[in-house]
Amino acid sequence: MARRRIVVVNWRDPWHLEAGGAEAYAWQVATGLARRGAQVTFLTARGPGQSGGERVEDVSIVRLGGRFSVYPRVLGWLAVRRSRFDGVVDCQNGIPFFTPWVTSRRTPVVCVTHHVHERQFGEHFPPAVAWLGRLLEGPVARRAYRRRPSAAVSPSTIRAMRERLSWGGDIHLVPNGVEPATCVRTPERAPTIVCVGRLVSHKRVELVLRMAEELRDRWPGLVVRIIGRGPDEERLIALAAERGLDGTVRFEGFVPPERRDELVSGAWLHVSASAGEGWGLCVLEAAALGVPTVAPDVEGLRDSVRDGITGWLAPTADALTGVADAAPKQTSDPARRAELDLACRRWARRFDWDTTAGRIADLLSPGKS
């Protein structure tokens, strides 16, 4: 990587109001390549209040366009500079940027896929736009990247790319990393559940509210902390108030990583109700603090949660509350609780961001593309 000029293209940067796990992944790859001596440019959209560019951690950030206009703006920017770069990391958030269309055939391009969005397009867009999204994610992307290596963050994503997108090119497993825990686990005395993530429809946070409603009588003093922000926030706050959960559910909003770790480390359980993930970075972050996760047995989460070892998988979303209700019975035994804590931390230690960046660096080597 020494002195190689690399572009990392991602829909948003970590400071965007709608940033999530995909942004953490892209940024960790960018900074990891920079530490290896690469000259890295992070090409992304410009969110409200953000500058057009800055330099952070030896990475040059260039912000162009908005939610959808960023795609043609990025292609135009790269097209006029195609000879200035030695590699591209093209991150797919629903649809990729199709950078092979404007780069030299000799320029290595790695397409990073977190999860297949085929089903989500119908949740967020009108039928015609959803159809276009599926077309771009599937047949068009499949052809554009057919001679380029792809990186998928989990075995679930590899299976979905093969089965639902009919992806024929090489797919390499390059999982998320996790930052080492910086605080000591100190579970709160009151039973506490924490849910971390963006507040968007496919995360199904309303199921966590239903869980709180069903468990509060069985778990006296129950506190459920919702950490994160997103377009669903107002609806969820209103729903919690409608169900009389004001004293049980606490919406923490966006918090800095240090405060997030403090809140998670105090929880008895971490819960994800998502309909599907690429991996579920929040699961690994909780595990690094010794906190087990309860989640549905869906794509991504079945990879990041080791059922019965670092948490528990519910067979269906409707069974989520029952699985969560049974978990404290296992952790009430000090020996079992210590076993879970150790298993979670050992699992998290298997993943680190430097290894993630190193695997992407290998895929950018000449001859891989």
Token look-up 């089965």 returns 163
Tell me: the pLDDT tens digits for 100-152? 999 988 999 999 999 998 877 877 788 898 899 899 999 999 999 999 999 99
Distance between CA 260 and CA 271 in Å, rounded? 14
> Where do we find the tokens 């963050």?
153
Taking only the tens place, the pLDDT of each residue in 20-30 is 899 999 999 99
What type of residue sits at position 344?
C
* Helix, strand, coil percent values for the chain (each to nearest 5): 40, 20, 40
Residues 186-228: tens digit of each pLDDT: 777 789 999 999 999 889 999 999 999 999 989 999 999 999 9
Give residue limits of the domains in the chain: 5-177+352-363, 192-349
Q: Around Cβ 226, how many Cβ atoms within 10 Å?
A: 25
Structure tokens at 368: 């891989």
The model's pTM: 0.91
> Looking at residue 118, what is its pLDDT?
81
Q: What is the CATH number of domain 5-177+352-363?
A: 3.40.50.2000
Q: Do domains 5-177+352-363 and 192-349 have the same CATH topology?
A: yes
Binned at pLDDT 50, 70 and 90, residue 334 comes out as confident
- The mean pLDDT value of the chain amounts to 93
Work out the angle at residue 317's Cα, subtended by the Cα atoms of residues 316 and 318, and round it to the nearest 5 degrees: 90
Residue 311 near residue 283, CB atoms below 8 Å: yes
Tell me the CATH number for domain 192-349. Answer: 3.40.50.2000
Query: Is residue 330's pLDDT more than 80?
Result: no
Nearest Cα neighbor of 346 from 290, 305, 304 is 290
User: Which pLDDT score, from 0 to 100, does residue 69 have?
Assistant: 94
Of the CA atoms within 13 Å of residue 67, those in its CB half-sphere come to 5
